[in-house]
Structure 1
């Protein structure tokens, strides 16, 4: 034994050597702890962690897969942990449980060899939690390693014929209330519900928008992207950092889901007898406002973008060029009634349509929040209809397919509007439903599950 080893304190007699720090696994672990302890947003925090720690290449890909994949799979993994322990997951110390979950994900959903997954996770527990807890983690993980995922699901998932909601909840790692809501949104078809849940668990590609008049699809393709399936301004980046693209860095292009692009474009395609002033009522963080701003400039219209929160309004200001941006409460607006020709209301919602991109959101939301949200959605829609002139159009958009947040809200204003068939203004997109609304889906379109209603004020 060298004197250097003794000075490092790692190899003293009777004490195990201190494990080496695995930066990828530590980043994934820190992501999970931040989500648990301070409700961090994984899709915002992970890129920051990677940049801060200089993690790149394969290590960055591993950290991202472990962090996002484990957060998506928590529901399934906790059932497996419960089957391998005499303690319920909620009775395990959270820092230890998060490390175990990372190990279970490696064992059941990656190609990492079992011995390497167990060894690396035990090293992580020893380093970040303690020597004693590592023995508990080791015992759990060695039991988990004895079966593959399909075999564990046979054990821990309720039978599909007796409890179809519970079965899908465990197999696809979604809370039962979300499974039930999505089943209702697709019309009660359990096979399609399963396909939707499966799509929620797939990591989405990075979607880009080339803001018209400022960037082109060809420019993005030349930078390594490929044209999108539906949006005339959309592209997908197959690899690399989108922030490294010149067009993105200069705010001529941006990261934006393809469905998000299309619902904004649908509003601009509705013919009007006169046109000139547009409103984006809940504009932060600015994706749709950035596209509307670019289209407005080309058509000679002007855009007013508003958000209740100052920091979100600042984000909108940074992503637009010609729009006027204000901090305003859409339920108590400063603008005069009937001032606008087109109004976009991208209403605050549960976000159930973006579970692919926000892996922790499914565990953060609670059905008890829906009445408060739908009340706010109704007040904002009333305000949007007050803001638009007779003959003008309101686009009501939610990033949720939940029926209480979509059709039920729009039904309340049916006596004040003519509901246009939104599908007519999105002719490039198949499978948007029976109308008159348009509903995007991850499993059908490869996009977030956005809902669109186009309402012409009488």
Structure 2
């Protein structure tokens, strides 16, 4: 990723804001970095939130240039479906799946500049055509020029009105203009219906998935307070942090690089979505019953700990309560991330590499609280990882839900009588949420399903609205401003 590609002019050197040719050179470098990131996402299964910052650092792109590249990447990925619907009407009948993938990605990037950014149409067309010529060839550049000129003949509102007229089915129309695969739209509609939410909220949810989320920090209890963290934000970033909507540990950033904060560098704080914080706080707040010998809580378990955000938050709370947390992670590289996240908690958190499905049998009845943050489709985090919607397929669900059931079953064996298990997914898909819990509990009489809303109220000190009738909690981007986290709390009968 660090090598310079054809058409790239490398990092801008020297001080001051470039103007004229130097300004265009910086913009070209930003476009090249965006194109390289999109190529890595498409061909190497890279994640934009990891690949792009690395490229920006390597090429010396900062400030406006970095922001331009970032918007190009994330806007293109988020709105790919919308732009595909428009591009398909500008290729003179040539199906998009017959285009070379690099050409199609660059056409999407050009369409985003024309329809989704304040880039003059002539500049968007000419610079995109230059990229196509440099990366693919002269013949493809002529085709790209014709297609993008056709895109620019109408503004976005006109294009959307045309799509509404030509796509009469509401679901298909929403899938196109709100840029979600049709199967995801159907799944989200079913999840909203199961939560007794109005059908009109589907469009709001899809739109929320396409809205860039604010960066949210977590102040890990006992390590740094939100007030201290806010002071660091002001002093280091020159910005004012604002408290989260619900979690007492959350602080939102208006801008700036959170990695530059001393508390983040020292693992006293971290970047963590507020919904992710809430489910961990709810587990810590849930009521356990005394064990058989009446002893105090002493051992907690995070069964699927990578990359470590929830482990670090739970570990900080555990340290305050003089409890030990074991963070278990099956993948060694993710276990390393957990160690980084919990670096300030070495005395109260141990990180272990192992298969969570085996813990229940190996350590039955050992733990007071167990978190199962199960691997899932990630459909609840599309705001932050927009490429996930294009990678996941319905065929992924059987393997994931089988794993989820095994992990939850293992957790219920590992927890002691009177202890609590939190089953969590970053997905609202019913097959991954309530269906898994119901399947695992079917035929069991030794587990009580707790009202997770009550634990959330204890954790936050307020009643979080729009949680439905319970007992489980489903958070929503369009209602709560968080990822769509699911939480079920299960207590092993004493």
Tell me how far 1:336 sits from its aligned partner: 1.4
1:327 equivalent in structure 2:
353
- Tell me by how many angstroms 1:155 deviates: 2.7
Give the one of 461, 470, 475 matched to 1:440. 475
2:35 to 23, 29, 33: 29
Deviates more, 1:233-242 or 1:121-130: 121-130
Give the count of matched residue pairs.
439
CA contact (8 A) 1:220 1:226 kept: no
CA distance in 2, matches of 1:211, 1:395: 20
Q: Which runs of 5+ in 2 are unaligned?
A: 1-23, 235-240, 291-295
CA shift digits 1:419-447 (9 cap, x unpaired): 11101111232222221011111101111
Aligned partners of 2:140, 2:163: CA distance in 1, in Å? Answer: 25
TM alignment of 1:306-317, pairs within 5 A: 306-317=328-339
**Secondary structure of the corresponding residue to residue 418 of structure 2:** strand
| Matching of residues 33-44 of structure 1 within 5 Å | 33-44=39-50
Q: Would the alpha carbon gap of residues 442 and 275 (structure 1) be closer, same or farther in structure 2, given more than 3 Å must change? A: same
Please, which of 117, 136, 145 is the counterpart of residue 124 of structure 2?
Answer: 117
| Structure 2 match to 1:138 | 145
Does the aligned pair in 2 maintain the 1:158–1:166 contact within 8 Å?
no
CA contact (8 A) 2:86 2:159 kept: yes
| 1:51-70 matches, cutoff 5 A | 51-70=57-76
Q: CA deviation at 1:71?
A: 0.7
Q: Which residue of 2 aligns with 1:6?
A: none
Of residues 395, 400, 408, the one that matches 1:373 is 400
Mapped contact 1:83–1:156 kept (Cα < 8 A): no
Range that drifts further, 52-61 or 185-194: 185-194
Q: CA deviation at 1:159?
A: 6.1
- Contact 1:72–1:360 (CA under 8 A) maintained in structure 2: yes
Counterpart CA distance in 2 for 1:126 and 1:412 is 55
Report what 1:154 is aligned to.
161
State the distance in 2 between where 1:440 and 1:356 align.
14
Where 1:332 maps in the other structure, the secondary structure is helix
- Counterpart in 2 of 1:252? 268
Match of 1:200 in 2: 209
Question: 1:4 corresponds to which residue?
Answer: none
Q: 2: distance between equivalents of 1:189 and 1:145?
A: 36
C-alpha distance in structure 2 between counterparts of 1:348 and 1:377, whole Å: 7
1:206-221 counterparts in 2 under 5 A?
A: 206-221=215-230
Please report how far the alpha carbon of residue 127 of structure 1 lies from its aligned counterpart in structure 2 after TM superposition. 2.5
Q: Secondary structure at the match of 1:396?
A: strand
> What is the RMSD of the two structures over their aligned residues, measured on CA atoms?
1.5
Q: How does 1:227-238 map to 2 (within 5 A)?
A: 227-238=243-254
For residues 259 and 303 of structure 1, the distance between their equivalents in structure 2, rounded to whole angstroms, comes to 21
Q: Name the TM-score, length of structure 2 as normaliser.
A: 0.86
Match among 430, 438, 455 for residue 425 of structure 1: 455
* SS of residue matched to 1:455: strand
| SS state at 2:358 partner | coil
Aligned to 1:47: 53
Partner deviation per Cα, 1:334-383 (whole Å, 9 max, x = no partner): 74100001000000000000000001100000001101110110011100
Residue 311 of structure 1 deviates from its aligned partner by 1.1
Match of 2:300 among 260, 278, 287: 278
Aligned to 1:126, the other structure's residue is in SS state helix
1:398 matched to 2:401: no
Once residues 320 and 362 of structure 2 are traced to their aligned partners in structure 1, the CA distance between those partners, rounded to angstroms, is 24
Whether contact under 8 Å (1:422, 1:435) holds in the other structure is: yes
Q: Specify the alignment match of 2:257 in structure 1.
A: 241
Distance 2:433 2:204 in 1: 21
> Could you tell me how far apart the structure 2 residues matched to 1:303 and 1:323 are?
5
Contact (CA 8 Å) 1:157, 1:166: kept in 2 or not? no
8 Å CA contact 1:158–1:167 kept in 2: the answer is no
Is the 8 Å Cα contact of residues 212 and 294 (structure 1) preserved in structure 2? yes
Note if contact 1:345-1:395 (Cα within 8 Å) is conserved in structure 2: yes
Tell me, which stretches of 5 or more residues in structure 1 are unaligned?
Answer: 1-18
> TM-score w.r.t. structure 1 length?
0.93
- 1:7 matched to which residue of 2? none
- Answering whether residue 280 of structure 2 is matched by residue 264 of structure 1, we say yes
The whole-number CA distance in structure 1 between the counterparts of 2:86 and 2:199 is 24
Q: Distance in 2 between matches of 1:245 and 1:314?
A: 21
Paired with 2:340 and 2:145, the residues of 1 have a C-alpha distance of: 49
Deviation at 1:145, TM superposition (A): 0.4
